[in-house]
Every structure is written in structure tokens, then in C-alpha cells.
Amino acid sequence: MTLRPDLALIADWVAPGARVLDLGCGDGALLAHLRQTKHCAGYGVEFADDHVAECVAAGINVIQQNLDAGLRLFADSMFDTVVLSQTLQAMHDAEAILREMARVGREGIVSFPNFGHWRHALSLLGGHMPVSKVIPFQWYDTPNIHLCTLKDFEVLAAKVGLTITGRHVLADGQPVAFAPSLRATLAVYRFKTR
């Protein structure tokens, strides 16, 4: 099974044998990959019934819960790595989930669509909310409530007290080196608490 480009980058950052918590784990593909290739153990947290069923069928430890309720089920520093892939923008309180990730994990990895992409700006200048591969919803039916740019995330991470230790920016699954704030469609950040 081929992982999404952001999940492949995330998997590269996870140490062999790590205890991993995957928030908004979807069908459990990342956890299954980490279990098979790096002998990692952990849990997924997912809200959607169909994804929870897929995780259970794949033998993934999954807890069905709305992430906006917090991570009270987990003790401080219980995990080596906590992952939140393409879910931050759907959280009601992005700051709170980052604080909880820092509480329960030694490091965190977050991926999100970059709202600063030039096509999004062009769409806004044309009078319309952007619709793209990474933001595929119309404004009236989107789960995305807190879209951000690379700089926006970096400012929030500093406010929360996180130290960014790595960053990948992608456009259509490929790395972006030149003008990432305008050209990247997706960002992946790695952080630790200060």
C-alpha cells in the first residue's frame, strides 16, 4: 500500500519502535505502515464510523472520539510521537489540540493544507473561496474551519511553546524549495516542547 506523500514524510520522522498516537487517523494506514516497517505500537483516534471499522478490520488499536473533546484519556508523555495529519484545519480549537499533543507526546508532527498558495490568493482576488485538491470543498459544506498559512502555523507553534525541529513543504506530492509560502499546497511540521 502506498502512503499519501505527507504520511510517507511523517513515517520517515518516526523512530523505530516508537509509541505513536495518530489523531484523526482515518483508515489507519499510517499506523499499519509504522507497525509493519518500524515495529511501532500505538493508537489511532478517529470519529468517523467507517474509518473506525476499517481500523478495527486492519487490527489497529483505535478509539472513537471527537478530537475537540481533548485527549484526557492519555497520560502526560505517554507517546514518543503524536501525529495530526490534515486535520488541524478542521479543529474548533487548534491551539488546544497542539497543547494536548505537546502534553501527551515527546514530539509532534502536523500536516495541513497551505492556504497561502498562490492559486488560493488568485481565487480570493476573483471573489471566490478556493477549491483545490487539498481543499476540495465548497465554502458552504467544508469541514475546514481554520485554514492557515505556513507563517500562521509557525506563529501559533511559538505561542504554544513548541520548538519546530523540521519542515517539509509539498506541491502535488513533490518538495518545494523556492518560494514555499506561495508554491506549497501542503506543509508537514515536526516539533518538540521547549
Pairing, β 174-175 against β 162-171: antiparallel
- Is the pLDDT at 182 greater than 70? The verdict is yes
The answer to whether 30 and 52 have CB atoms below 8 angstroms apart is: no
Mean pLDDT of the region 3-12: 94
Mean pLDDT of the region 98-113: 96
The domains of the chain are located at 5-115+145-193
Query: What is the total residue count of the chain?
Result: 194
- Is the pLDDT at 58 greater than 90? The verdict is yes
The 3-class secondary structure across the chain, one letter per residue, is CCCCHHHHHHHHHCCCCCEEEEECCCCCHHHHHHHHHHCCEEEEEECCHHHHHHHHHCCCCEEECCHHHCCCCCCCCCEEEEEEECCHHHCCCHHHHHHHHHHHEEEEEEEEEECCCHHHHHHHHCCCCCCCCCCCCCHHHCCCCCCECHHHHHHHHHHHCEEEEEEEEEECCEECCCCHHHHCCEEEEEEEEC
Which comes out higher in pLDDT, residue 44 or 131? Answer: 44
pLDDT at res. 1 = 64
Convert the pLDDT of each residue in 20-47 to its tens digit.
999 999 999 999 999 999 999 999 999 9
Provide the terminal-to-terminal Cα distance of the chain, rounded to the nearest Å: 36
CA distance 136 to 9: 22
In percent, the amount of the chain with pLDDT more than 90 equals 78
Mean pLDDT of the region 139-163: 91
The answer to whether 165 and 191 have CB atoms below 8 angstroms apart is: yes
Convert the pLDDT of each residue in 62-75 to its tens digit.
999 999 888 999 99
Task: Output the average pLDDT for the chain.
Answer: 93
Mean pLDDT of the region 72-85: 96
pLDDT at res. 144 = 75
In percent, the amount of the chain with pLDDT more than 70 equals 99
CA distance 136 to 183: 17
pLDDT at res. 98 = 96
pLDDT at res. 103 = 96
The second-level CATH assignment, the architecture, of 5-115+145-193 is 3-Layer(aba) Sandwich (3.40)
